[in-house]
């Protein structure tokens, strides 16, 4: 895999560190800032996905509740 980095003449030098991980999906490459490791990044990503899914689940529960009460109100009419 090739990575082309184009930078201006006054930009600081770039140090490229290649790290292989069994946790990375096949044929995948991630570019991370130097202050975070792959495991920390993947843990953060997992936490964000988990929180997002929790919000989605909560939202769907509210919608189901509203539909239930709407149907109950329509039954009385």
Cα distances from 17 to residues 28, 38, 55, 65, 69, in angstroms, run 16, 12, 36, 51, 57
Q: Which comes out higher in pLDDT, residue 76 or 61?
A: 61
pLDDT over 70 at 77, yes or no? no
pLDDT value of position 34: 80
Segment 4-31 mean pLDDT: 87
pLDDT value of position 29: 85
Selection from 58, 4, 1 nearest residue 24 by Cα: 1
Selection from 2, 34, 5, 4 nearest residue 17 by Cα: 34
Residue range 28-52, pLDDT digits in tens: 888 888 888 888 888 999 999 999 9
Give CA–CA dist 52/58, Å, rounded.
10
């Amino acid at each position: 895999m090739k990575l082309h980095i184009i930078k201006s003449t006054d930009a600081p030098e770039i140090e490229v560190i290649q790290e292989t991980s069994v946790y990375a999906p096949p044929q995948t490459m991630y570019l991370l800032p130097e202050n975070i490791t792959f495991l920390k990044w993947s843990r953060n990503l997992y936490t964000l996905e988990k929180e997002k899914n929790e919000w989605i689940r909560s939202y769907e529960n509210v919608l189901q509740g509203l539909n239930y009460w709407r149907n109950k109100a329509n039954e009385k009419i």
